[in-house]
Amino acid sequence: MLLPQAYASPQSKCWKNRRRTASYATYRRKNWIRKKYMTPPSRETKLAKSIFDFTGEILGLSLANFVMFSSPEAIILFGGLTKAGDLILKPTRDSMESNLIQVFQNKVKILISHLKESDAAILGASALVWDMKP
């Protein structure tokens, strides 16, 4: 019969295997992190980036057309697409600025709303009613 010291002593075979197993688990965890976060972009990532770029170009062109006839100080975007952040905003800004005439370039801001999606539509509609003259 083995005594408990046989399992816990540094000279025991179980102790050595436990150390090897722990270091192997640490190695696997570090290797997993390295693979997950430090690999070059995959084909799917490049495809998603190109989709965001294309969508930003179309949105920027549409916003440039809107700026031409309405002359706003800022454009406030909200909704699911804005959760992409700079992935969608940078190509949108670049496309809008390149399609604007010189009078409007670098004067119109594109902002993201921090309101809840349900509140933004109601507040926008009520602001239009508030500005109406009887």
Single pTM value for the model: 0.60
C-alpha closest to that of 76 among 100, 109, 104, 54: 109
pLDDT tens figures, 53-90: 999 999 999 999 999 999 899 998 888 888 888 889 99
Lookup result for tokens 């025991």:
12
Are residue 18 and residue 81 in the same domain, yes or no?
Answer: no
Whether residue 21 is found in the same domain as residue 55:
no
For residues 31 and 64, state if they share a domain.
no
- What is the model's pLDDT at position 94? 94
pLDDT digits (tens, 9 = 90+) for 81-119: 888 888 899 999 999 999 999 888 899 999 988 887 777
Indicate which CATH number applies to the domain containing 102: 3.30.420.40
Looking at the structure, tell me whether residues 113 and 89 fall in a common domain. Answer: yes
Percent of the chain that is helix, strand, coil (3-state, to 5): 70, 5, 25
The domain containing residue 26 runs over which residues?
8-37
**DSSP state at residue 83:** G
Indicate if 55 and 33 belong to the same structural domain.
no
Structural domains in the chain (count): 2
List C-alpha distances in Å: 15 to 6, 9, 25, 27, 121: 9, 7, 15, 18, 65
